[in-house]
Structure 1
Amino acid sequence: MGRSPPAASPGPLARSVARRRRHRRPYPLHRWQQRDQP
């Protein structure tokens, strides 16, 4: 139970980290997203 699958890890984990470190983000995701598709 403690071990999470690598496929389901990047998704929920990334969101958790972003919410926990929302004050410390080197590159805002919404910024590079807009640049990718103007």
Structure 2
Amino acid sequence: MLPDSDLLFLPRNPSWVFLLGITSFAGGTLVISLYILSFL
């Protein structure tokens, strides 16, 4: 586990924010899609 102070430096790197945003968006979309398909 990294200390919380180290995590504060990650958002300063634009590539980290971009990759994190893409990953969370893709993951969230995938989960929602599977969730909806399970009820069809």
TM interval, short-chain normalised: 0.3 to 0.5
**Larger gyration radius, structure 1 or structure 2:** 2
Query: Which has the larger helix fraction?
Result: 2
Q: Which of the pair has the greater relative contact order for Cα pairs under 8 Å at 6+ separation?
A: 1
